[in-house]
Structure 1
Amino acid sequence: MRSILGFLAAVFLWAGGLHAAGPDADYDKLVALHDELQEFMLPGFTTGVVMDSGARIGDVYADTLMAEKLAGLDHFEKSLAAMPVQSWSRAGQVDFLAVKSILNGYRFNLEVLRPWKRDPGFYLDPLMGVAFTDLAGGDEKVAQLRARLRMVPPLLASARQNLTEVAGDYADLAIHNLENSDGVNHYHPYRKVPPAGIIGWYDDLLARSRAERPDITADVAAARAAVAEFRDWLRDERPRMAAPGGVGAERYDWYIRHVRMIPLTAGEMVTLAEREHERMTAALALLRHRNRNLPALTLSQSAEEQAGKVSATDKEVRRFLTEEDIVTIPDFVGELGSNTPYIERPGGPNFWEQIQFRDPIPDHLHAVIPGHRFDAVLAARDTRPIRGRYSDGARAEGWATYLEEAMMLAGGTRHTPRADEFMELFGIFRAARVPADIYMQHNRWSVAEAVSYMRAKTPWLDEDVARVDAEIYLRRPPGYGVAYTIGKLQMDALLADRASQLGDAFSLREFHDAFLASGRLPIALVRYEMTGADDEVALFWQTPPIPGGS
């Protein structure tokens, strides 16, 4: 295991961590502008939100305030344009483009997405954390809970005033989530039988308050009533909620290029993803033939059996990463857990569980080490003022998705050859997401049509997992669904570029360490910094106005 000092040296010296107010003229002004921009914008309006909308109980969302925020972006855009970035180092230019993408994302959220007007789920997402509260936390925690509960009725009352342009798919998803468990339960407390949606969780909190803290029961009941009234209002208003859910084709391409900084159009991404789907489907058939005489991997039958599988997988993955010189694991990286808790569902395991309960290695590489959780531990120690606060979805998911097939090809699954089939299954699902994401945002497909497409293209994919994915890709900032496959292809291209540049001097461990040390920036920016190739970043310097709807 590599030393902490060696790894931190790589982080800061390679990726420009000692840049600060260094040789680039006015770089300190860029940092100040970045910090001012983060303070200016509401906390809920970020470019990186995924699992929830980013809204917060207690924040105010009204047209007058949003108009003020939108008008205020002119100051930041003019200040950014005045900086002498052409003379800066590559590291400084990359930081500049990162700030530019953040600023572009804020403008898009305020001009186009406008979730406070279009999406009932924007107001519902933060209510779940309230209902999850553990009442055994003591009087101070319960007092905080009471304060949040009392914010629920006014928040939902303001929602009814603000929601004047609701998309039909958004309304249907909100009604569904109010009354049904999503079957995936991202970040939910475990229940053998999950409560029936948001209202069910408030019923659960109400029952717990009566048993444990009757002093807050009235506040819980009032919040629960407000949630139910909001559901009833949505049902009544649903016939009039007919706005499109997606942003349109031209706006989608603008967002992909100028916020996510992916140098591709929607049409190009669909073509690439369809080819990846074909390739991986063929690879799956070949692997099944190769493995035809091997015993099938079976589902875990208990939490204890699954825990044993996860523990053995973690040991094997860490051994492989270290002994095969794949990536540096600093001494401060401890146990990282697992991403899929053992759950016994009445209808059987969902898509993720069908794979994870047979062999945890595909998602362990993707979501634990050296994927998301490992990535997050490194990022948490990144104190750089811009890169340390930036997290791009295509970078995060591209890295994690790249690891699945890359680690298989590098030998990480030699001990479990049938798991190679699951690597391809993961990739098949991720490739099917790309047309689903794009065509929902183009308003060509409804959520139901996207779900049907993904299920037809992906073995074992169930309705719940497909619907949750479709909801994320429609309701969140555009392009998250493409991030996995397209980010993976960007990683492949970067690896090819760097290996060609360095020839016999290329080291896979040094490549991975340098990539991680660059920060969680758009992969095109990392490519520019690592290789000097400027053909992709040339697309990002000028930002045209956001197109009209299409």
Structure 2
Amino acid sequence: MIGKYFALPLATVLALMVAAPLPAQLTPESSAQPALEQMFADWRAFVRASPANAGVASDYGADAMARKLAALPEWRARSARIERTGWPQQAIDDARLIDAEINGFDFFLRVLKPWARDPSFYATVFADQSDVPAHEGPSAEPNIDLWAFDWPLSSADDRKLTALLRTVPDTLKAARTNLAGSQAGDLWRYGGRSFHEQSETLDALAKGTLTLRSLAGRRPATMTGASAALRRAIAGARTATDDFARWVEAEAPGRRGPSGVGKANYDWFAKNVQLSPYDWDAQQLLLQRELDRALTSLRLEEVRNRALPPIAPIDDPVAYARMAQAKTRKFNDFLVATGIVPDRPYFRAALEAQTSSYVAPADRNFFSHGSALDPLPLLSHSTHWIELARLRHEPHPDPVRRTAPLFNIFADRSEGFATAMEEVVMQAGLYDDIPHGRELVWIMLANRAARGLASLQVQANEWDLATAGRYHAEWTPRGWSDPASRLVGFEQLLYLRQPGYGTSYIVGKLQLDHLLATASYDADQRRQSFSLSSTMAEILKAGIVPPALIADELNSR
């Protein structure tokens, strides 16, 4: 019954939270399809843009992209030639996931065309690890992930990073040619921000003051022992970055065309790439319902708590750190006690490493406003990091599911399930002794619904990003969101650059709600008790697959 309401293939991928082995009948030894696995390996090699030499910039010229597009029919034909008779559901779904990636590359090459439309595509230096399985939004290769290095650098890593940073000037030089015909106005008006941030990162790296965030927590990028060649490469990358930012900002006034993909393209992407059951119109309806529900629930919660003293903010950084650490321990214990995740040392360590830090009032954005009162709501969303910990420590035995899906297909699964966790733990009793904490959960849900609704209007070319930012902020309660803030600009630009990402928080949340609801129904029909822990384990052990595929697999057992 799990798949009953997922008539269309649905979307999203990755990020496993629970340690549970695959059923014996689905282990790679008994069900792996060699032809499919070989195709997957070959496909990933084909999609990759970076040359074998890490010191060479990738080619995003028109001819190179045209050759990639021309090759896609053969990839579709190769997939269709693989005989799938008698395959278990997991293998069938692996094939569907690969087909979704082929569709994603098709969309990337025909419609999105970030190398030719989107200046931010060429921002390639990243200080922090994303809390989802891959980079949010499209970016040119090679990605220069500073967080992935051990600091101070070994001699080999010093040479590797030097070679990578030397690609930045060539990448940005080629970008000017590749972007010459772009008229995507908002992508240009907001595009300079990415390069100002990249310049700040490179400047801090050169000075030895850069702090990196990863699964291990926050740590300094120590430049002790860095070679002169690396320092020159950093300086050259920064100069090229600053020059490119100035060029983008000078060009922006003359680029006046639409930036969204339009409703028809959005619907095609949702159905064929994200594998989502919901098109643009359905997503608008669902997000509006969640915004209404969140705001109404917030106000009723405030009435319920009217006689209780408010949460007292902690203004001392040391005292705040003690409180935040205690909250992280409380949350880890709660996850284990309720059976939402098993007790694994590295799961606990993953969240402990992301414990909230004190932010001064003048520096707070939407998220730090909430965390100043109680870190638990945002920590609930940070179960992202539990998923990343499992990817590292318990990689999926199926090679198709061992790595993140391309083209942000993971968004509904990763962002949606993390958003769902905020309300799941609330309803399971996390805030029974801190009622005002429930108010923060509803505020976060309202914010996610409002920004998702705004992103839909931008993709439909009904609103520009400035209008989207105002709506996003105005419908966020308590004045915690500022349309002029770096955060709002970053979020709305990301949601423009990657269709479906802005809505994934709510759309994916609703799909997890449906999986839990249908599991409840099935338990009732079997006259069995519903078990949250076993249900979550069944849902999450599927690995890197969209919720609709999870539904198919649960229904087949």
Give the shorter-chain TM-score range.
Answer: 0.7 to 0.9
Tell me the distance in 1 between the aligned counterparts of 2:224 and 2:416. 46
Offset at 1:200? Answer: 3.6
* 5+ residue gaps, structure 2: 1-17, 128-143, 210-222
Describe the superposition over 1:243-271 as per-residue Cα deviations: whole angstroms up to 9, x where unpaired. Answer: 32111110100001111111111111111
Answer yes or no: is 1:146 the counterpart of 2:156. no
Match of 2:138 in 1: none
Give me the TM-score of the superposition, normalised by structure 1: 0.82
Answer yes or no: is 1:294 the counterpart of 2:304. no
1:396 maps to amino acid: S
Describe the superposition over 1:432-454 as per-residue Cα deviations: whole angstroms up to 9, x where unpaired. Answer: 12222211111111111110111
Describe the superposition over 1:319-349 as per-residue Cα deviations: whole angstroms up to 9, x where unpaired. Answer: 2233333432345534123546525457331
Tell me the distance in 2 between the aligned counterparts of 1:41 and 1:208. 35
Match of 2:268 in 1: 254
Offset at 1:513? Answer: 0.7
1:169 maps to amino acid: D
Distance 1:340 1:449, change over 3 A: farther
Tell me the distance in 1 between the aligned counterparts of 2:423 and 2:80. 41
Answer yes or no: is 1:160 the counterpart of 2:180. no
Equivalent of 1:510 in 534, 537, 545: 534
Tell me the distance in 2 between the aligned counterparts of 1:419 and 1:228. 43
Answer yes or no: is 1:30 the counterpart of 2:47. no
Match of 2:431 in 1: 413
Secondary structure at 1:245 match in 2? coil
Offset at 1:529? Answer: 1.2
Tell me the distance in 2 between the aligned counterparts of 1:511 and 1:251. 35
Answer yes or no: is 1:462 the counterpart of 2:482. yes
Q: Answer whether contact 1:202 1:220 (CA < 8 A) is retained.
A: yes
Q: Answer whether contact 1:246 1:441 (CA < 8 A) is retained.
A: yes
Using the TM superposition, name which of 295-304 and 494-503 deviates more.
Answer: 295-304
Tell me the distance in 2 between the aligned counterparts of 1:360 and 1:79. 49
1:461 maps to amino acid: S
Q: Answer whether contact 1:473 1:479 (CA < 8 A) is retained.
A: yes
Match of 1:50 in 2: none
2:228 maps to amino acid: D
Answer yes or no: is 1:172 the counterpart of 2:189. yes
1:432 maps to amino acid: A
Match of 1:473 in 2: 495
1:413 maps to amino acid: Y
Tell me the distance in 2 between the aligned counterparts of 1:500 and 1:526. 17
Identity level (%): 29
Match of 2:228 in 1: 215
Answer yes or no: is 1:320 the counterpart of 2:334. yes
Distance 1:315 1:207, change over 3 A: closer
Describe the superposition over 1:217-264 as per-residue Cα deviations: whole angstroms up to 9, x where unpaired. Answer: 554443333223222322332233233211111010000111111111
Answer yes or no: is 1:199 the counterpart of 2:199. yes
Q: Answer whether contact 2:49 2:59 (CA < 8 A) is retained.
A: no
Secondary structure at 1:490 match in 2? helix
Distance 1:211 1:379, change over 3 A: closer
Answer yes or no: is 1:236 the counterpart of 2:250. yes
Tell me the distance in 1 between the aligned counterparts of 2:126 and 2:546. 31
| Cα RMSD, aligned residues only | 2.9
Q: Answer whether contact 2:153 2:226 (CA < 8 A) is retained.
A: no
Distance 1:41 1:253, change over 3 A: same
Offset at 1:154? Answer: 1.5
Q: Answer whether contact 2:381 2:422 (CA < 8 A) is retained.
A: yes
Tell me the distance in 2 between the aligned counterparts of 1:426 and 1:310. 19
Q: Answer whether contact 1:340 1:353 (CA < 8 A) is retained.
A: no
1:522 maps to amino acid: P
Answer yes or no: is 1:378 the counterpart of 2:390. yes
Tell me the distance in 2 between the aligned counterparts of 1:335 and 1:135. 20
Match of 2:212 in 1: none
Give me the TM-score of the superposition, normalised by structure 2: 0.81
Distance 1:379 1:112, change over 3 A: same
Tell me the distance in 2 between the aligned counterparts of 1:315 and 1:481. 31
Q: What is the correspondence of 1:283-362 to structure 2 with a 5 Å cutoff?
A: 283-330=297-344, 333-336=347-350, 337-339=352-354, 341-342=356-357, 344-345=359-360, 347-362=362-377
Query: Highest relative contact order (Cα 8 Å, sep 6+), 1 or 2?
Result: 2
Distance 1:375 1:206, change over 3 A: closer
2:304 maps to amino acid: R
Using the TM superposition, name which of 100-109 and 239-248 deviates more.
Answer: 239-248
Secondary structure at 1:408 match in 2? helix
Offset at 1:311? Answer: 2.0
Tell me the distance in 2 between the aligned counterparts of 1:324 and 1:211. 46
Using the TM superposition, name which of 147-156 and 160-169 deviates more.
Answer: 147-156
Offset at 1:87? Answer: 4.2
Tell me the distance in 2 between the aligned counterparts of 1:108 and 1:207. 41
Q: Answer whether contact 1:302 1:342 (CA < 8 A) is retained.
A: no
Describe the superposition over 1:100-159 as per-residue Cα deviations: whole angstroms up to 9, x where unpaired. Answer: 111111111111111111111111233765889998535544433433333222221111
Offset at 1:532? Answer: 4.6
Distance 1:145 1:515, change over 3 A: same
Tell me the distance in 2 between the aligned counterparts of 1:446 and 1:66. 28
Match of 1:194 in 2: none
Equivalent of 1:492 in 513, 517, 540: 513
Offset at 1:273? Answer: 0.9
Paired residues, what number? 492
1:419 maps to amino acid: G
Describe the superposition over 1:183-239 as per-residue Cα deviations: whole angstroms up to 9, x where unpaired. Answer: xxxxxxxxxxxxxx3334444445559998693455444333322322232233223
Match of 1:191 in 2: none
* 5+ residue gaps, structure 1: 1-6, 46-54, 180-196, 534-550
Secondary structure at 2:123 match in 1? helix
Q: Answer whether contact 1:171 1:241 (CA < 8 A) is retained.
A: yes
Tell me the distance in 2 between the aligned counterparts of 1:453 and 1:160. 33
